Amino acid sequence: MTTPDPQHDSPIADTAMFRRFVDEENPAPAPAPATINKRLWLFAGVGVAVVVLAVVIVLLTR
């Protein structure tokens, strides 16, 4: 059985440190306000469609 070498971390730790370094060096850009607005409208549109579909189903099954 080999003893862990204190000089070298595990590859997983190296990968995590590298990812952290890359994230700090190149932060992800914040989404543009237009993108947020589009998502909001899409979410609202899907919500309205679901409500309309539910009302139609209720009215048809009366």
pLDDT in tens, 46-59: 999 999 999 999 99
Q: Express each pLDDT in 10-48 by its tens digit.
A: 555 566 666 666 666 777 777 777 777 888 899 999 999
- The confidence score (pLDDT) of residue 30 equals 73
> Would you state the pLDDT for residue 8?
58
Q: How far apart are CA 57 and CA 49, in angstroms?
A: 12
Query: 9: how many CB neighbours lie within 10 A of its CB?
Result: 13
Whether 6 has a pLDDT exceeding 60, the answer reads no
* One-letter amino acid of 32: A
- CA-CA distances (angstroms) from residue 61 to 48, 51, 57? 20, 15, 6
Q: How far apart are CA 27 and CA 57, in angstroms?
A: 47
| DSSP strands (E only) in the chain | none
